[in-house]
Structure 1
């Protein structure tokens, strides 16, 4: 009997492992669709009574609305950003490199003294960077063309999973509650933590776009870059794209200022580019931690770890995994509190002062000296 039981467990485990290994490359868009459904499900429930006869089509309507209002603009701006980056890297940078080399060779004139900061090795390094940028552009465009079919498949799976999660999400939640190995209260806490984390990720992306777009617009106006307003709006939109961000706008503006001879403005714009880029690492974890009561360091580690493991969608999946890890530690601490009892510091009433000792009686016949 025990042998049959163990054989059944091994076969069931092997089938589950085989299934998840088979769909391992498809899990990211499916999980992402589930997270968006978790975010949109309260809105869908509130909208059902107002749709009248179309109430049963609420999941389909919300799926189409998400694709039209979120996915299509995101894809459009991603394609525009990729095209702008490829064109930016593929252009002829020979005049700019020569101007920059002459700037390094001639040096900076400070109070009648010329400070030379260039050299043959530095000039060769600049030429090498230009050549590497051109080759990177060609490889980048070729890689994007190769990844296009997989991107279309991921987009399709995201839309389908979003629809089914919105339609059957209630049944899935009840099934998970029924078969959850954790107590009901802990399962509710886990679900609430995941929902708060997804909401925090969305708010973090929006807050980052506002902050980076505003800083970029301010820097572009201060240093006199043409079309500053349009470039600031583009920087805010590009901040939605992980691993790209505002770099095409800020770095491109810096190179433009160097190429047009505005060296001081170019240096200021380069410093601003670094500050704008680092603001993402401050704003996003802060909003994430304030929304989920998660420590900013854990939120930052979850974001970067998710980006490294899952790619761009790691902005959502990384904090979710971090929140589940924090939930694991919290529930374990509640179930297994430390055995040692905390003792309060003694007060004056609790302090036992020994009575003063009486002096020993003198002997009746003291010894002779």
Structure 2
């Protein structure tokens, strides 16, 4: 092997390892910035005709960040407040008579339970898992601030210089132009299928189901709405993982009419979101199997944290697109 070529290969390998170590802690935010730029590109494409690339990019990104941060901040404050009051609400005789609940549960199931003990254990575990100690909270908040700042700047540059970046990637990719076009088209479809058919539907389903909980008087409806939105990303469980037990809760406390209303509301209204909104939002030719979504959500959460809810399914959708294109061009013979 040529000495000069060997030197360049070794140097490239070393620098690649160093670059990976630098990028790895922020990989989730980097992928999130790519996803954000992807979603904002249609808007940027229209506005840059009037504002130019730089002004259009920074305006679109800042508006998107503000539009996301303000509602998320308010929602997070409401969820945390609701979560902190959950244990007290469940144990308060003014809200829930635990003795009545225990008697009703024994009547229907024949089993004895200690609701106060179970509630205390569950709340402690939840608090420990989600919030941890104070130093951990500061560490998480600091990392999130750095990560979101990085994501904002990267999204700006991806919008501003996105065309040049794509041309560079195309020049670097050692496959023909027609295969690349097919590949990018498939990835574009699969990504929008995940964003519109699963992320959007999960948020809408959770919000609609949350209205039903609030209307029928289920305590801590804001917190449970947040939980339903998270469960909405998991196709098998979905929002029913909360509103169905809520129906049982209403029966146990003697509010049978409210339980019937919530059951009908959940079956009809929440079901309509899945049966009507999802088909309208998803491109059937790029539909992602629910099993892929489950693996993507759980794997994304494990690797990237909360951002992985969105990144995980998108990554697996992109992998599916690559495999489809590879099969189409290289395995037919």
What interval of TM-score do these two structures reach, taking the shorter chain for normalisation? 0.7 to 0.9
2:187 maps to what in 1?
A: 194
Q: Structure 1 residues 276 and 63, CA, compared in 2 at 3 Å: closer, same or farther?
A: same
Unpaired runs of at least 5, structure 1? 109-116, 340-369
1:136 maps to what in 2?
A: 125
CA contact (8 A) 2:26 2:147 kept: yes
CA contact (8 A) 2:33 2:155 kept: yes
CA distance in 2, matches of 1:61, 1:312: 26
CA distance in 1, matches of 2:260, 2:24: 46
CA distance in 1, matches of 2:203, 2:309: 14
1:207 maps to what in 2?
A: 201
CA contact (8 A) 1:198 1:316 kept: no
**Number of residue equivalences:** 321
Identify the structure with bigger relative contact order (alpha carbons < 8 Å, sequence gap 6+).
2
Q: Structure 1 residues 49 and 241, CA, compared in 2 at 3 Å: closer, same or farther?
A: farther
CA contact (8 A) 1:194 1:324 kept: yes
Matched, 1:324 2:322: no
CA distance in 1, matches of 2:16, 2:246: 52
Matched, 1:81 2:79: yes
2:217 maps to what in 1?
A: 225
CA distance in 2, matches of 1:292, 1:133: 43
Q: 1:311 aligns with which of 302, 305, 308?
A: 305
CA contact (8 A) 2:292 2:316 kept: yes
CA distance in 1, matches of 2:211, 2:243: 10
Structure 1-normalised TM-score?
Answer: 0.69
Q: Structure 1 residues 91 and 231, CA, compared in 2 at 3 Å: closer, same or farther?
A: closer
Instruction: Please state how far the C-alpha of 1:279 moved relative to its aligned partner.
Output: 9.5
Q: Aligned runs of 1:282-297 on 2, under 5 Å?
A: 290=283, 293-297=286-290
Q: Aligned runs of 1:1-369 on 2, under 5 Å?
A: 1-51=1-51, 56-89=54-87, 91=89, 93=91, 95=93, 96-105=97-106, 107=107, 117-119=109-111, 122-124=112-114, 126-139=115-128, 140-142=130-132, 145-146=137-138, 147-204=140-197, 205-218=199-212, 221=215, 224-225=216-217, 235=225, 239=229, 250=243, 257=250, 260-262=253-255, 265-266=258-259, 290=283, 293-297=286-290, 299-300=292-293, 301-339=295-333
Instruction: Please state how far the C-alpha of 1:28 moved relative to its aligned partner.
Output: 1.1
CA contact (8 A) 1:89 1:133 kept: no
CA contact (8 A) 1:37 1:165 kept: yes
CA contact (8 A) 2:33 2:154 kept: yes
Q: Please list the CA deviations of residues 210-250 of structure 1 after superposition, one character each: whole Å capped at 9, or x if unmatched.
A: 344334545765xx4379xx969x94897279779869984
Query: Who wins on radius of gyration, i.e. which is larger?
Result: 1
Structure 2-normalised TM-score?
Answer: 0.76
Task: Name the Cα RMSD after superposition.
Answer: 4.3
Bigger drift between 193-202 and 260-269 goes to 260-269
Instruction: Please state how far the C-alpha of 1:58 moved relative to its aligned partner.
Output: 0.9
Compare the two structures and name the one with the higher helix fraction.
2
CA contact (8 A) 1:307 1:314 kept: yes
Q: Please list the CA deviations of residues 96-133 of structure 1 after superposition, one character each: whole Å capped at 9, or x if unmatched.
A: 4322222234x25xxxxxxxx334xx325x45422212
CA contact (8 A) 2:212 2:262 kept: no
CA distance in 2, matches of 1:202, 1:44: 18
Q: Structure 1 residues 277 and 214, CA, compared in 2 at 3 Å: closer, same or farther?
A: closer
CA distance in 2, matches of 1:255, 1:165: 49
CA distance in 1, matches of 2:202, 2:312: 17
CA contact (8 A) 1:32 1:158 kept: yes
CA contact (8 A) 1:213 1:235 kept: yes
Unpaired runs of at least 5, structure 2? none
